[in-house]
Amino acid sequence: MATVQVSEAEKVYILHGIRDDLRVDGRGCEDYRHMEIETDVVSNTDGSAKVSLGHTAVLVGIKAEIGKPRPMAPNEGYLEFFVDCSANATPEFEGRGGEELGKELSNTLYKVFNNKHSVDLKKLCISKGEHCWVLYVDVLLLQCDGNLYDAMSVAIKAALFSTKIPKVHISNDEEGGKEIELSDDPFDCMRLDVENVPCIVTLCKVGHRHVVDATLQEKACSVASLIISVTHKGTVTCVRKMGGGSLDPESIFEMTETGKRVGKALHVPLMKLLQQEESLGTRQKVGFLG
Amino acid sequence: MLKSKTFVKKTRGGRVMKIVREHYLRDDIWCGSEACDQCRQESTVLQREACIESNLCSFSHYLVPDTNVVLHQIDVLEDPVICNVVILQTVLQEVRHRSAPVYKRLKDLIHEEERHFYTFTNEHHRETFIEREPGESANDRNDRAIRVAAKWYSEHLAKPDDPKLVLLTNDVANKQKAQESGLLVYKFEEYVKGLIANPELVDRLALSNDDKNDIASSRVLFPEHLPLSRIQAGIKSGSFLQGTFKASRDNYLEAKVFIQKDEEDGTEVLIQGLQHLNRAVHQDVVAVQLLPRSQWAAPSSVMLQDVGSAKDDTTTEEEEQEEDALISCGGDVDRKPTGKIVGIIKRNWRPFCGMLNISQIKESTRHLFTPADRCIPRIRIETRQASTLAGQRIMVAIDGWPKDSRYPNGHFVRTLGVAGEKETEEEVLLLEHDVPHQAFSQAVLSFLPKMPWSIKPEDIVGREDLRHLTVCSVDPPGCTDIDDALHCRELANGNFEVGVHIADVTHFIRPGNALDKEAANRGTTVYLCGKRIDMVPELLSSNLCSLRSNVDRLSFSSIWEMNQKAEVVKTRFTKSVINSKASLTYAEAQMRIDDTGKNDDITKSLRGLNKLAKILKKRRIEKGALTLSSLEVRFHMDSETHDPIELQTKELMETNSMVEEFMLLANISVAQKIYDEFAECALLRKHPAPPPSNYDILLKAAKSKDVLLRTDSAKALADSLEAANVDGFAYFNTLLRILATRCMMQAVYFCSGMDNDFHHYGLASPIYTHFTSPIRRYADIIVHRLLAVAIGADSTYPDLTDKHKQSALCTNLNYRHKMSQYAQRASVAFHTQLFFKSRGVLSEEGFVLFVRKNAIIVLIPKFGLEGTVFFDGKDKSGLNLVFDEEYPSLTVERHTFRIFDRVKVTVSLDDSNIQHQKIRMALTEPVIPGVSVSATAGETQNKKPRLDS
């Protein structure tokens, strides 16, 4: 993970600021940095989104492919995650440097998103036990400036929102053979309901307080952080502690409460924004030759 | 400007892919019109004064046809009257997608300068490109694209004296939308009918859907075809079989489907009855469902010809009876897998030659068309010029075959000329046999050597100079494409040096150029009576490559040293230069050999060859080579009219077999050489041993005369044929050999890397190829190239050693070879008819060759002519026919016909049906009341049937 060196004096400065609910860049403890969301950015995916949060930038692409349902859930489809830590983000990722982080990130994402409470997995089933849609979620880290989880979760939610899966139907012939038929109309497609898709809120324990959306400097001052995935109703679906330091139960409880509050507040403008963008219609394409 | 095209596609593996293509629009696509002054185009295609005389559009106008108009009405569009047409890219792409042949014809049209067809790339034009909208089908989008482009044109050419745009569509909805947007639009029929001075064009209109409805009765005659998706699923699951549909020539209610499977050899499925045939046409690729075993049937031996009328009052009693007769027949033993057609995978319709049956109802515009090929059903067409077309050979294309119509619907394409005239009939038989017979194109001719041509010093490099040898050629009279010459001389050691010199065609035809491609496509020269369709241009075939006497010619020589016992001591191949000393006919050569007074070099050489050939032949026959027989006839042509004036069966002389022996020897030597050198890609020829069941008919026939034939090997067959003789029946042996020939398989070319059975059954040779006639066979050209590479006389090229390419080539060569044989036979048949036309009724003696359920087939040796005597039909109903299949015999009333029975028949030309003129045979002896006719008026009817001796 990208890290910055912070001197002792800087550390004190940051700690003191947070204690007084005033962070180095002027935010309060529960404020996010400026966030930009753009959906439908990669034309050869079925759904995509690009999110930048401060200087953190994440690109998510979703490809829908037909696969076989998992034996335990024959009437559900599933999601697969892959996080690519591009060396563009930070030189440390060069070669296989980002592999471990990528693995860790994708495992967490899998836990958070691949369950029937977040995404309607039944809708992804085409024929029970035989065919289902598999959504391959590819996350590309373009730039790391702290708080990767939050940025990724927002991007995934936005990408799922923009995902258009071609409609298929199964035709049965008399011999019982099944054939997948594809709709001829490219506009005839299935959309996913993303209302219950959670967002991740990362809370960093800095001193005695905790902050959301920590920058790299703030992160350097923190010993432990908690990642909480929260739905629009404020339900916590996943909690995970990161970092080497310890957290006492009291502060975990406090942090969870903050996470719920912040997460709930995050969903509303996000959905509004996505719908607004959708209503704008397709953008004029700009090619290589302009 | 960039747009992207997105579509979803299902892959073969069942996956779904989203494909995105970038699509760039430009603003430098010009309209192509002379009348335009905005576009900065360098040259224009469309004329300013674009006048097609028409009632509808009296002004200058351009036509914009939509996709369906192009697809279905290409025959009309090809008419020279139609010009100044804008072909939109949308249309071109769709046509390309839907029909390759139509696409090719359209491309040809666009290239014809005087027709002024302009391709407007509307899909890349900034102002005419449209994107598919939600809820819009692909077709609707294309229709809209066409309308938008047409609209753009009409706004682009807006000056009052500019040509107007006329959109042609048959789609009602499209037409309406176009009208709403202010376009000038007509249905194609409307427009064509409005053309002044071209009434015949109307006939070429393909019937569109709404026309069909009023033709067909409401009754559904055929089961619905399954959709392609169901068919594919069925083929995958094995419940349907895919195969090529082959209609029976003799029985319109019967057909076979050849099932192609990857590994195994093809199997056959029998289809019987109109319902089961379900509108499949000869050569279509179809899906078949097998019937339960209890419903399997045996192929019938009845000959049935469709005689139904143009109306759809089908399944008349007559037909039902015919179908009944068909189903009830056949013993359990002969039952074959039987099926029914459930769907058509690919139609293989082409324009068919044939003639019109004028409808009996006057003023009717609907007529039935009878194709010349009996495998093709009759086609209903609409024409107003029936009276002009009567008696003419015409071409007709099928448009479709609705399930409620007894016959397919089609339209008139063009006329070929008056039926019965030689030129017309020749054209017909070339077209019907798919023989490429157009004049050679300029591109092809450009690769010919420049005349005057002579052998240049660089041509001789690497060649052996054999001009001093006494080489001569022996060919049939009138032969101008001499591709082989021979020489023989005694060597000092008492051995003979024998040389076979073959025209070096590959010196002139270099691989890969247009000339080579054309020759590869034609595959073979086709010999018709009095006409030759060359494989290579005449300059080569009759001059530069023809080994004429007393000129220097390039050749490829195979030279052996043989001892007195005709055993080969040494073989070598070389490119050479020869100078033939004489071009002889078989008869001339024979005379020289026989004339003891002659003792010149040529004669001595011939005698040597003849002597060796006899030994070679004897040895070959001992090995088990078959001498089979088929009657070939030669016509003596009138030099003025080119009509046949005399008919003669071909006579074989010693010299025939002399030349043949050495050609065989050369072919075998070369085959061995190229196989040794190129084990994977030698082009060889094989003749598979026939399956034992093929011999059934021959064995049964021989048994009827108490002759036992053995067919376990070629040698056994040859020997037992040799021994098969019946006293007092000298012709019996020849007849047996004729029958044996028909049991044989086709010899085929193949690539040695793709097969492992090389045996040539007929010649009893383990390996064989064709080397000796490169002027008239393309296979020989490839063999020449292989051999040239093998001896280091020429360089190789990639395709030569690619066994898959070569295998594909072999397929074409085999097909062309087969078709050329059919064409040849058809030509002989036609000339036989011409011959009998001038002769009136002749009475001849013949032999029963086959016995069918309702007919006997009679061979007249004198003319090599075969004909059928029917025992049923309109005027001969109610005869008591008993057919015994085990011992092929047919009892008519009280007389029993067996194979080889001697009969007397009258032969005459039956031109009552001008569509299919045929030789009619009528029985005169034995006399059967109600069947036989009297040869002369005086003969009495109650003469006892003469039983066969």
Place of tokens 């070099």: B601
A14 within some domain: no
pTM of the predicted model, to two decimals?
Answer: 0.61
Number of domains in chain A: 1
Which of B16, B132, B237 faces A182 most closely, judged by CB atoms?
Answer: B16
> Please, what is the angle between helix B732-743 and helix B714-723, to 10°?
160
CATH number at residue A259: 3.30.230.70
| Of B145-159, B397-411, B805-819, B879-893, minimum mean pLDDT range | B879-893
**Sign of CA pseudo-dihedral B548, B550, B551, B552:** positive
Contacts of A65 in chain B (CB under 8 A): 15-16
A289 within some domain: no
In Å, how far is B15's CA from the nearest CA of chain A? 6
Q: What is the pLDDT of residue B935?
A: 54
* Largest Cα span, chain B: 98
In Å, how far is B226's CA from the nearest CA of chain A? 11
What is the token pair recorded at B363?
């003023």
Q: Which of B8, B15, B20 to mutate against chain A (most A CBs within 10 Å)? A: B8
> Hey, are the CB atoms on B2 and A166 less than 8 Å from each other?
no
> Hey, are the CB atoms on A186 and B132 less than 8 Å from each other?
yes
> Hey, are the CB atoms on A186 and B10 less than 8 Å from each other?
no
| Beta-carbon contacts of residue B11 (< 8 Å; ≥ 6 apart) | B17
Paired strand residues for B62: B165
Q: What is the pLDDT of residue B213?
A: 43
A87 within some domain: yes
> Hey, are the CB atoms on B134 and A187 less than 8 Å from each other?
yes
Q: What is the pLDDT of residue A17?
A: 92
What is the token pair recorded at A266?
């995050």
Q: Are B678 and B752 in contact (CB under 8 A)?
A: yes
Cα distance between residue B73 and residue B80, in whole Å: 14
Residue B230: closest C-alpha in chain A: A173
Q: What is the pLDDT of residues B321-346, one digit of tens each?
A: 555 555 544 455 567 788 888 888 88
A47 within some domain: yes
Q: What is the pLDDT of residue B939?
A: 36
Residue at B380: amino acid letter: R
Q: What is the pLDDT of residue B557?
A: 92
> Hey, are the CB atoms on A45 and B8 less than 8 Å from each other?
no
Residue A179: closest C-alpha in chain B: B233
- Any CB–CB contact under 8 A between B230 and chain A? yes
3-class state of residue B227 by DSSP: coil
Residue A287: closest C-alpha in chain B: B2
| Beta-carbon contacts of residue B543 (< 8 Å; ≥ 6 apart) | none
Contacts of A63 in chain B (CB under 8 A): 18
Q: Are B911 and B917 in contact (CB under 8 A)?
A: yes
Q: How many CB atoms lie within 10 A of CB B208?
A: 19
Cα distance between residue B61 and residue B370, in whole Å: 39
- Residues B745-758 have a mean pLDDT of 85
Residues of A in CB contact (< 8 Å) with B are: 43-46, 63-66, 166, 168, 171, 173, 175, 177, 179-187, 285-289
Q: What angle do CA B781, B787, B788 make, to 5 degrees?
A: 90
- Residues B279-290 have a mean pLDDT of 87
Q: Which of A130, A164, A285 to mutate against chain B (most B CBs within 10 Å)? A: A285
- Residues B646-660 have a mean pLDDT of 74
Contacts of B10 in chain A (CB under 8 A): 180, 182
Q: CA dist B749 to A110, A215, B74, B642, B664, Å? A: 62, 79, 37, 35, 16
> Hey, are the CB atoms on A66 and B8 less than 8 Å from each other?
no
Contacts of A187 in chain B (CB under 8 A): 132-135
Which of A43, A64, A177 faces B4 most closely, judged by CB atoms?
Answer: A43
| Of B483-497, B728-742, B761-775, minimum mean pLDDT range | B728-742
Q: Which of A175, A181, A278, A286 to mutate against chain B (most B CBs within 10 Å)? A: A175
In this prediction, residue B104 has a pLDDT band, given cuts at 50, 70 and 90, of confident
In Å, how far is B230's CA from the nearest CA of chain A? 7
- Any CB–CB contact under 8 A between B229 and chain A? yes
Q: What is the pLDDT of residues B215-253, one digit of tens each?
A: 444 566 788 888 887 888 888 877 888 888 888 877 778
Burial of B111 (0-12, 13-18, 19+ CB in 10 A): exposed
Q: How many CB atoms lie within 10 A of CB B596?
A: 7
| pLDDT above 80: residue B670 | yes
pLDDT tens series, chain A, 290 aa: 556 788 999 999 999 999 998 998 899 989 999 999 998 888 888 999 999 999 999 999 999 988 889 999 898 999 999 999 888 888 888 888 888 888 999 999 998 888 888 888 888 988 888 889 999 999 999 988 888 999 999 999 999 999 988 888 777 655 556 677 777 777 778 888 888 899 999 999 998 889 999 998 898 888 899 999 999 998 999 999 988 888 889 999 999 999 999 999 999 999 999 998 888 876 666 655 54
Q: What is the pLDDT of residue B324?
A: 53
- Residues B526-530 have a mean pLDDT of 83
Residue B6: closest C-alpha in chain A: A186
Q: Which of A44, A46, A131 to mutate against chain B (most B CBs within 10 Å)? A: A44
Q: What is the pLDDT of residue B876?
A: 58
> Hey, are the CB atoms on B233 and A177 less than 8 Å from each other?
yes
Give the distance from CA A158 to its chain's centroid.
8
Query: What count of CB pairs under 8 Å joins A to B?
Result: 66
Q: What is the pLDDT of residue A288?
A: 58
| Of A201-210, B322-331, B359-368, B450-459, minimum mean pLDDT range | B322-331
Which of A66, A166, A175 faces B14 most closely, judged by CB atoms?
Answer: A66
Contacts of A66 in chain B (CB under 8 A): 14-16
- Residues B609-637 have a mean pLDDT of 78
Burial of B585 (0-12, 13-18, 19+ CB in 10 A): middle
| pLDDT above 70: residue B208 | no
- Any CB–CB contact under 8 A between B13 and chain A? no
User: Could you give phi then psi for residue B244, rounded to 5 degrees?
Assistant: -95, 130
> Hey, are the CB atoms on A175 and B16 less than 8 Å from each other?
no
In Å, how far is A183's CA from the nearest CA of chain B? 9
Q: What is the pLDDT of residue B642?
A: 62
In this prediction, residue B105 has a pLDDT band, given cuts at 50, 70 and 90, of confident
Domain that holds residue A45: 21-279
Q: What is the pLDDT of residues B559-613, one digit of tens each?
A: 999 888 888 888 999 999 999 988 988 888 888 888 888 888 888 888 888 889 8
A7 within some domain: no
- Residues B286-308 have a mean pLDDT of 74
Q: What is the pLDDT of residue B110?
A: 86
User: Could you give phi then psi for residue A17, rounded to 5 degrees?
Assistant: -60, -45
A108 within some domain: yes
Q: What is the pLDDT of residue B303?
A: 61
Cα distance between residue B709 and residue B718, in whole Å: 9
Model ipTM? 0.72
Q: Which of B5, B9, B12, B18 to mutate against chain A (most A CBs within 10 Å)? A: B18
Contacts of A45 in chain B (CB under 8 A): 18
For chain B, the average pLDDT equals 80
> Hey, are the CB atoms on B9 and A187 less than 8 Å from each other?
no
Cα distance between residue B297 and residue B320, in whole Å: 17
A263 within some domain: yes
Which of B135, B229, B237 faces A187 most closely, judged by CB atoms?
Answer: B135
Q: What is the pLDDT of residue B217?
A: 46
Which of B6, B9, B132 faces A43 most closely, judged by CB atoms?
Answer: B6
Cα distance between residue B797 and residue B883, in whole Å: 60
Cα distance between residue B633 and residue B650, in whole Å: 5
- Any CB–CB contact under 8 A between B22 and chain A? yes
Q: What percent of chain B has pLDDT over 70?
A: 85
Calculate the dihedral angle through the C-alpha atoms of A105, A108, A114, A116, rounding to the nearest 10 degrees: -150
A26 within some domain: yes
DSSP code at position B540: I
Place of tokens 């194609």: B188
- If we measure between CA atoms, which residue out of B253, B375, B341, B337 comes closest to residue B302? B253
Q: What is the pLDDT of residue A286?
A: 63
Q: What is the pLDDT of residues B21-78, one digit of tens each?
A: 888 888 888 888 888 888 888 888 888 887 777 777 788 888 899 998 888 888 888 8
